[in-house]
Structures are given as structure tokens and as C-alpha cells.
Amino acid sequence: MNRNIKIAIDLDGVLTEHPGPLALAANDRYGLTLPESAFVDSAGHSVSLETREWVYGVDGPASKLVAAPQARQFLSRIVAEFGAENVFIITARPELSEEMTAKWLGQNNLDVCPVIYTDDKVEVALRLGITHAVEDSQRHAAAYAAAGMTAFYLIDGKTPVPDGIANPVIDLLDAAARLIANSRPVTPPQRPRIIISDPIDPAARAELVREAEVTDVDGTDVAALRAAVADAEGWVVRSETLVDQDTIQAASKLRVIARAGVGVDNIDVAAATAAGVLVLNAPGSNSVSAAEHTIAIMLGLSRQLTDANASMQSGQWERKRFKPFDFKGKTAGIVGLGRVGCEIAKRLAAFEMDVIAHDPYVPIERFSELGVEPVPFLDLLARSDIVTFHCPLTDETRGMLNGETIQLLKPNALVVNCARGGVVDDDALAEALDFGRIAGAGVDVFPHEPVEHTVLSGRPNVILTPHIGGSSVEAQAAVGDIISRTTLAALRGETVPNAVNLPTSSIDAGDLRRLTTMAGAAGHLLSVLEPETPESFVLTVHGRAAQDIVEFVLTSALSEALRRWTSDRVTPVNARIVAEQHGLELRVNSVDSGPANVIEFAFEVHNDQTHHVTVRWDTGQVGIVEVDRFSLGQPLAGDMLITHHRDRPGIIGHIGMILGQHDVNIAGMQVGRHQRGGEALMVLNVDDVIPKDALTGILALDDIQTAYVVSLPAPEVPRTSPADDEALST
């Protein structure tokens, strides 16, 4: 209970109906022309004392006023929050009205706090230490405010708010909510905890620190790492940290693993997916840096720069010993035509080299665009003067260049590996160098990093660098920017474009967020309608939707439902896996029908009964428009009571009476039926929590089949400017 607030509440027009009837009665009795608003502020309108005493007499017109619709609920909330000793009714009624007023308050169950009668409200309020006031008189509200109190001015919602009124409220419940909100300290949102286990760009780290609790830990210290990730929600790594299944399973709160770079072979993505953890990377951010580093190694090898430099540094002049060669007219073979491979192909073309490449997963059009000849891997080895690797490390690519395949290389060939350690067998490479089967090698990556010793060390025709291909200042800044922004966005629940284990979205980030939020709401509603894990979960798409959008919608709804159906940790990342583990059959159907700009996602779950929820997506606006085959006039949102009942006279009234008995205010209602006297569905939006006893009473009504209490988010209205929902593009 908050005891630091004291509140003054006006009586006429605030706790009573509008006092217009008092002016009409006075005009009839005394032949006056008082305006209808005269008794909103009778002193301000110079109403005579005689008239006021008659109006507020024992049997005067004021005794017959009706209480304001929300008066009892308002006072109950305020007294419960602040205590009866801190709530005062301060009225300009004359003191002789005390007996009548006390009787009226008692009859309306409003006699819960002291009543003070005075024409000078502000003086009394200052003496009592009043901090807040609720008024329907502009003069009194302004006077309270001028004296340093927070005054809430009750308006009718039809006339403009007068100048100088800072806190208009539309009704008493709005006033109660504002009073309570004003009295409570603002609690900052809990900051997520992020660990960083490899060095990242300082600006990126600073960005993370602004919104999260950041802890640095040595990624090579397994014990310290597992202790640190136990409470972490986000984890930022580069290439030196090994993110394995055991560590992921030890991190029960982990939601995001962010790789500050491109390759994710040091992350067990399958284990992360099974645990519902989103994996991010920074594709394209360091491609130019990696390409330039690769070409620098190629040039260093072809010009024998490191050996020549060592010779000069030792005082030698061995000009005749070195035999560099030109790139022009030579053949370069690129293994892996991804982002880095493409950048290298562009640059090698400028050297007038013949560029060939091997990548079975790249469309032939990309080769043509780059002017690169596609060839099988073994042919590439046999034809190339320089072979450079730029593919991920997978079971398919591990040891691609080994003791057998290396035999195909020309004796003057150069081998460069700036992709991943393990793609090239370093032992086989060292042996080929020792026996003169190739001319030189450049290596930036190793099977185990950091490297204490490699078999490639100590050779003049080998260039070794400590995995710095993508580590230029510019590249690290770009990587850090992408990773810091998207990690924080993902932890806020936003959709990001650089997820490794979720599909890439084909629509704007804002539209996707609105759609997946409402799909999640549909899944939650399904789990309320069917509280036990169903036999099947079916999504039928009416209209043309891209496959990635269908997958986002399905997994968003499914994950929300599974959170109630199971005790598992479920996110859209692992929703399909968890569903399979629980024997839940998933089906997706597509019906190409309806307007081109309207798509409906119809969800169905089946156990003993079948339940349906439909989400409509209409040019950016999205909402739940159908429940159990009953169409709704307005999309579902907010706190609701949903009933299935027999369409009988009086049933809605009975439900309203039960809610009223439990002080539950009804904010809105929708009713649907297929035929008179048949099954009907009702949705009641409410302002208050529905107690268990109220729900029990509703379920006991003869014609009620089922009743559910559910809370859903309001549909988010799309913004008009595309810049308002700028995608986190890379």
C-alpha cells in the first residue's frame, strides 16, 4: 500500500452523475437561468447561498442524484492502493448538507473515506498535505495545479480540453490508473546478461554495455566459460571459443549465440537449435577484408616477399636467388564461391588471370556474372597455378585437400587456405612442400586455435598468419555493429535478418514482427481452448504466402502453444523439434484463394474436440478474426472472457450480472452465432481480472458449454513511413 500520496476527490460530477439536474431544479423553483454546469462549480457560478442550501437540503435535488457508473470501483481501487486515511472527498457543498451527503454516500456504498466541506478547497488541501486531486471543475483543477498538486481533470470526451489543463482523464477508471501509475516509481526494465568470450570491436562492446549487463570471459577456459554462461541470455563469440553441446545445455537461460564473423563451424548449431537458442552471424561484413588478405598472401608467395625480406634483414643481397612470377595469364582456382570467393574472383580478374571455381551449391548464373568457369574439384586442382579455399568446414569439405588429392597439383602451384582449419590436411601439405611437389603455401586458419605449433612452421616458402583474414579495423567495426545491434534486437524479441537457424525473411522487419506477434497470440489462444497437448496441429494458408513467411507463422504459433502444453523450453527455433518429441503431428496446407492482398492463416488443433483460430493479414494489418468457426467483427485483443454457449434469451445478462457482482467492468462485447437457438460464441473484453469464483459461476450456468479467460496483445498498427521500421540490414 502506498502511503506517500494523499488524494482530494470532488463529489458532484465526479462521484455523482453530471449535476445538470440540480441547475434545472433550481431554475424551476426560483425562476433562474443557471447553466447546466452551474453545480459543477456553484461558487464559481455565483449561485446564491439560499439556492445552494435548498439544492443540498435533506430532501433536496442533490439527494436524488445517481452515482457515477464507475464511482464505487474507482474509490475501492484508490482506497486499496493508498489507504482510507489518505483519500478525502473535498466538496464545495454547504456544511448543512452533511447529513444528506452521508446518507447518499452510504446508500451508494461510497462511505469509505472522510468528507470535508469548504469553499476554499486549495487551502484545506495544503493543510492536509494533498498531493493529487480529481476534479470536474476547471477552476478548481487549475487552482490545485497552481498550488503544486497534480490535478486530474475529468472530461466528457466530446468537448476540447481547456487550455492550461495538463492531466485530462476520460473517466474515473482512467483517473485511478493514472493516480496509481503516478505514485509508483518507474522500474527500469531488467537488463539482459550477455557474456563475451572473444575480443570484439570496442564500439560494439560499448553498444552492448548500454543495454545489457556484460561479462567478459576467456573462451578457452572451459570451466570459467560454463560458469559464466549458466545465467547468460546472450553469448558473443568469435572463432576461438568452442560452443559445444555440453556448454549449450548448461546455459538454461541462453537465448542468443552471436558469432562476430561469418563461419559458425565452432558452434554446434544443431545443439543450439534443439535447445531453442537463436544463432546469429555477420555475413558479408568482413568479406572484403578476407578477400584482400587472401590476395596479399597470394602476392607474397608469388613474389617470395617473406623470404626476400628475411634475406635482406640478415644483411644478404640475393637478387638472383629469387624467382617471382606474374599473375597475368595464370589460372586461379577458387574453392567456394560465396561472399569471400566472389570478392576474390572480382579482384583476380583485374590481374588478367583465368579464374575457375568449384561450388556445387551456387547457381550457374553466379559463375556467369563473375566471368568464372565452373569446374569439378579435381579438375580445378589439376589446372590451377594458385588454389585458394573459401568454403565452410563440413563433413563434405573436411580434408578436401589431402595426401591423395594434393598429387593432382602442378609442381609450381601455390595453395592458400583462408577458409577453415581442417579443409586442408596440414600434414599432407607439409609433406608436399618438403618433397617439392608444390611451390608454396599460405595459411591463415588452423584445426585448433590458438596454435602453439604447426607442422608448417619454419619454411621459407610458407606464409602463416594467426587467423586475421577478417580482422581489419574496418571489418571488425562492421562485424561489431551488426552483431551488437542484432543481438540486442533478438533479446528484445525482435526478428533479425542474420539468423543462422531460422529462415531469412522476405518481408519488412516491422511487418514480420506484427505478423509473428499475432501468430503467437493465436497459438496461445489455441492452448487455452485446448489445454492438453493435441493429436495434431494444422495450419491452412488461404492465399499466396512465401514459404519463409509460412514457417515464421507456424513456428511462432506452435512455440507459444507448446509453452502451455509442455514443460519444455520452447522458442520458434526448436518448436518443430519439441512437437516431434511429444508426438504432435504437424501439417501445413495451402489454398490459393481470396484477394491477392489478403492472406488468412487458419490454425486447427484436434483432440476429443477440434478448435480453430484464424489470423488475417491484410496489407500490413493483422489480427485474430475467427475463433472456432465464428467470425468476429473486431480482431481479438486485451483481457477477455470467451464463452461457447447455447443461444438463449438472458444468457448474456446472467454473465454480466456475475461479472458485476465481482466488480469486473465490461469494456466491449462481440457475439456470433450460426443460427437462432444454436451454438454461439461471445467475447467480452474486460477492464479487471476475472476472479476464479466468477468463472466458476459462469461455467455453472445452464446454457454455458465452455468459458475461457485469456489475454492477448493488441494488433500493432503499421507505421506510415518505411523508415519507421528500418530493417536491420547487412
- Phi/psi region, residue 2 (left: phi>0; alpha: psi -120 to 50; beta: rest), is beta
Does 726 map to a domain?
A: no
Amino acid at 56: Y
pLDDT at 720 (0 to 100): 40
Nearest-angstrom CA–CA distance, 121 and 90 = 7
pLDDT band at 713 (very low <50, low <70, confident <90, very high): confident
Sheet holding 213-216, edge to edge: 213-216, 193-196, 234-237, 256-259, 278-280
**29 with 51, same domain?**
yes
Nearest to 292 by CA among 343, 356, 337, 351: 343
Full domain range(s) for residue 661: 638-712
Active-site residues, by number, are: 420, 449, 467
pLDDT at 263 (0 to 100): 84
Q: What is the tens place of the pLDDT at every residue in 78-98? A: 888 888 899 999 999 999 999
pLDDT band at 130 (very low <50, low <70, confident <90, very high): very high
Instruction: Pull the grid cell for residue 535.
Output: 493429436
> Pick the residue with more confidence: 486 or 644?
486
Low-confidence winner among 88-92, 180-184, 411-415, 503-507 (lowest mean pLDDT): 180-184
pLDDT band at 667 (very low <50, low <70, confident <90, very high): confident
Nearest-angstrom CA–CA distance, 62 and 64 = 5
pLDDT at 241 (0 to 100): 93
Does 668 map to a domain?
A: yes
Does 85 map to a domain?
A: yes
- Among residues 160, 183, 206, the one where a domain terminates is 183
**384 with 327, same domain?**
yes
Length, in residues, of the chain: 730
Number of domains into which the chain is organized: 5
Low-confidence winner among 117-121, 329-333, 517-521, 716-720 (lowest mean pLDDT): 716-720
Percent residues over pLDDT 70 in the chain: 93
Q: How many CA atoms lie within 13 A of 687 on its CB side?
A: 17
- Among residues 157, 183, 209, the one where a domain terminates is 183
Q: What is the tens place of the pLDDT at every residue in 513-539? A: 888 888 998 998 899 888 899 999 999
What CATH number corresponds to the domain at position 663?
A: 3.30.70.260
CA torsion through residues 487, 488, 489, 494, sign: positive
**452 with 342, same domain?**
yes
pLDDT at 724 (0 to 100): 36
Q: What is the tens place of the pLDDT at every residue in 318-337? A: 999 999 999 999 999 999 99
The verdict on whether omega for the bond into residue 450 sits within 30 degrees of 0, i.e. cis, is yes
**302 with 275, same domain?**
no
Sheet holding 354-358, edge to edge: 373-374, 354-358, 331-335, 386-389, 414-417, 440-443, 462-464
For residue 139, the SS3 value is: helix
Cβ atoms within 10 Å of 362's Cβ, excluding its own: 18
Instruction: Pull the grid cell for residue 212.
Output: 545489457
CA R_g for the chain: 37
Low-confidence winner among 56-60, 145-149, 248-252, 587-591 (lowest mean pLDDT): 145-149
Nearest-angstrom CA–CA distance, 130 and 148 = 10
The verdict on whether omega for the bond into residue 35 sits within 30 degrees of 0, i.e. cis, is no
Cβ atoms within 10 Å of 421's Cβ, excluding its own: 20
Alpha carbon distance, N-terminus to C-terminus of the chain: 50
Does 404 map to a domain?
A: yes
**354 with 409, same domain?**
yes
* DSSP 8-class letter at 165: -
Question: Is 90 exceeded by the pLDDT of residue 22?
Answer: yes
Low-confidence winner among 330-334, 497-501, 551-555 (lowest mean pLDDT): 497-501
Percent residues over pLDDT 90 in the chain: 60
Contact, 625 vs 609, CB < 8 A? Answer: no
Q: What is the mean pLDDT of residues 376-380?
A: 98
What CATH number corresponds to the domain at position 546?
A: 3.30.1330.90
What is the chain's mean pLDDT, rounded? 89
Nearby residues of 695 by Cβ (< 8 Å), 6 or more positions away: 641, 707, 709
Instruction: Pull the grid cell for residue 173.
Output: 477508471
3-state helix, strand, coil in the chain (%, to 5): 35, 20, 45
**359 with 424, same domain?**
yes
Question: Is 50 exceeded by the pLDDT of residue 236?
Answer: yes
Does this model's pTM top 0.75?
Answer: no
